Structure 1
């Protein structure tokens, strides 16, 4: 193989390797501000309120 053939192959292959690379997907939009409250968080908050009310009534009766 001569230098000319190697040069032609190199000049043809290099651009194709650049086009063949996978482009990363675009960034997803940021989440909305604030803390989302799902069912479990709501359950924990309700459980804390119930516990606090029970403790308050128990302490005030004695």
Structure 2
């Protein structure tokens, strides 16, 4: 019985808690807020590979 009193307000309010309203969402391609993700992701990938290579060389040098 107590659980139903707790769940009822959550179920009624959950429909108003949508993260994004209706529509296409996101910036248009030519807007100043459009950020290219590829450049940053490739830099992070290259930095991770360089770090992994460095750690591998350090590990082999200790043996």
TM-score w.r.t. length of structure 1? 0.41
Kindly name which structure, 1 or 2, has the bigger radius of gyration based on alpha carbons: 1
Between the two structures, name the one with larger relative contact order (CA 8 Å, sep ≥ 6): 2
